[in-house]
A and B are shown apart, each in its own frame.
Chain A
Amino acid sequence: MKHLIDPMDLTVEEIDQLIDLGSKILADKEKYQDVCKHKSLATLFFEPSTRTRLSFEAAMLELGGNVLGFSSANSSSASKGESVSDTVRTVSYYSDIIAMRHPKEGAPLVASRKIDVPLINAGDGGHYHPTQTLTDLMTIYQEKGRFHDLTIGMCGDLKFGRTVHSLIKAMSRYENVRFVMISPEELRLPEYIVKDVFEKKNISYQEVRTMEEVMPDLDILYMTRVQRERFFNEQDYIRLKDSFILDLDKLKTAKKDLCIMHPLPRVNEISTKVDDDPRACYFKQVRYGKFIRMALIMTMLGVNVDED
């Protein structure tokens, strides 16, 4: 893997290897604390995303490496009209690996063609965000110990939520995974995903309008934000929004080992009262995200650690 642009660029085997390495780092941080010494990661964020940038930077620092970069287009030469290719190419001479975020779809692909160092897409508009998908997979594996034989509920904005689409594609490659789509009519999963993924691969899926009716079946509940601006009128939003807010009451019928996930940031779609429930995994997800990024950086840099 030279660059990582689309989460589906990764084979199932490559994902297994990354998860395996991420788990080893998580179990023995000290062993990996200097493996990227004298290497540097450039975080080129043409649009701000503090959460994602810090996760990458923390990952590199904990591997003993250095970080450099910029956190918005204003502080880069992009504001002087330089092309994306030129900006990224210039930085590629100062760094060993690049994590890049850009508001335009396909910008990381364009940039990756002009450089010799590996590039990770850290989000290109509403398009791809492969390290979010890896974070979600790492969380599922850590919490469930497997990718097969799971019932996954996805709740909220399934129409525009790119993390949902990517996770569906990634999880559709494993045996006996059932999907339950929980959304208002207005925000249901796009037809092309139903056709290209569920129907083409003969995967079992169900579409419902409330989480209560499916809660007892779920092994994983992936929550997303329902945004006001997605609705035509205020009444529809107010009428529907409570149905897609998770609280302790709705969790009453859930399994004891349900894993509740959310890509964050959360606004109000999960009641803060749920945070202390052992089934809440969305902050653990942040932590897993750092470890899987560590594994990714090591793998893309070709850094190996001797096995005992």
Chain B
Amino acid sequence: MKIDSIKDGIVLDHIKAGKSMDIYRYLGLDQLDCSVAIIKNVPSNKMGKKDILKIADNFDINLDVLGYVDPDITVCYIKDYEIVEKRHVELPEQIVNIIRCKNPRCITAEERDIDHIFKLTDRENRIYRCVYCESKKSNH
């Protein structure tokens, strides 16, 4: 399978196989006008199988989202068909309005215009908790 290389844009590499649609959704890529390629189950030496996302636009990508969904992703910034910068994402300390608290007893279920904020409380087990009610959200 061949996908044209992009001239300017972003390539998300080393996505855990099967996670690319989550990232597409979390990043709101459906809102973009440019070409977006989702490449699934690419053979990989390191990972066995991986997904890749290619976005033909240098938009301001939310690295916290990527770090939350999968901290092993590599972000490659492309200019004139060349990789000009490679970035490794990290598990963010705090995520705002990426996931929603589902606890019906939480104030977020009632108050309008409230940010849904989760804080990383256990790095080892990748556990996030709602700052209002401490409900647990595990992302693995």
A contacts, CB < 8 Å to B: 83-85, 102-107, 109-110, 124-127
Cβ-closest chain B residue relative to A102: B107
Tell me how far the C-beta of A103 lies from the nearest C-beta in chain B, rounded to whole angstroms: 8
List the count of A-B residue pairs having beta carbons below 8 Å apart. Answer: 45
- Which residues on B sit within 8 Å (CB–CB) of A103? 105
The reply on B30 being an interface residue by CB < 8 A is no
Q: Given A84-B107, A105-B106, 18 more contacts at CB 8 Å? A: A83-B113, A84-B111, A85-B111, A104-B105, A104-B106, A104-B110, A105-B103, A105-B105, A105-B107, A106-B106, A106-B133, A107-B107, A107-B132, A109-B107, A110-B107, A125-B105, A127-B133, A127-B134
On chain B, the residues within 8 Å of A107 by CB distance are 107, 110-111, 132
Closest to A107 in B: B107
Give the distance to chain B from A56, nearest Cβ to Cβ, in Å.
21
Q: Which residue of B lies closest to A109 (CB)?
A: B132
Q: Is the CB–CB distance between A105 and B132 below 8 Å?
A: yes
Which B residue's beta carbon lies closest to that of A104? B107
What A residues does B133 contact at CB under 8 A? 105-106, 127
Whether A109 and B131, one on each chain, are in contact in the complex, defined by CB atoms closer than 8 angstroms, is yes
Please give the residue numbers on chain B whose beta carbons come within 8 Å of chain A beta carbons, in ascending order: 103, 105-114, 130-134
Interface of B is mostly: loop
Q: Least Cβ distance of A234 to chain B in Å?
A: 27
Contact B103 A83 (CB under 8 A): no
Provide the residues of chain B in CB contact with A127, threshold 8 Å. 133-134
For A125, list chain B residues within 8 Å (CB): 105
Shortest beta-carbon distance, A151 to chain B, in Å? Answer: 29
Q: Which chain A residue lies CB-closest to B113?
A: A83
Closest to B110 in A: A104
CB pair B112–A106 under 8 Å, yes or no, is no
Residues of B contacting A85 in the complex (Cβ-Cβ under 8 angstroms): 111
B110:A106 contact, CB within 8 angstroms: no
Contacts of B105 in A (CB 8 A): 103-105, 125-126
Contact A83 B109, CB 8 Å, known A106-B131, A106-B133, A109-B132: no
A90 to chain B, nearest CB (A): 15
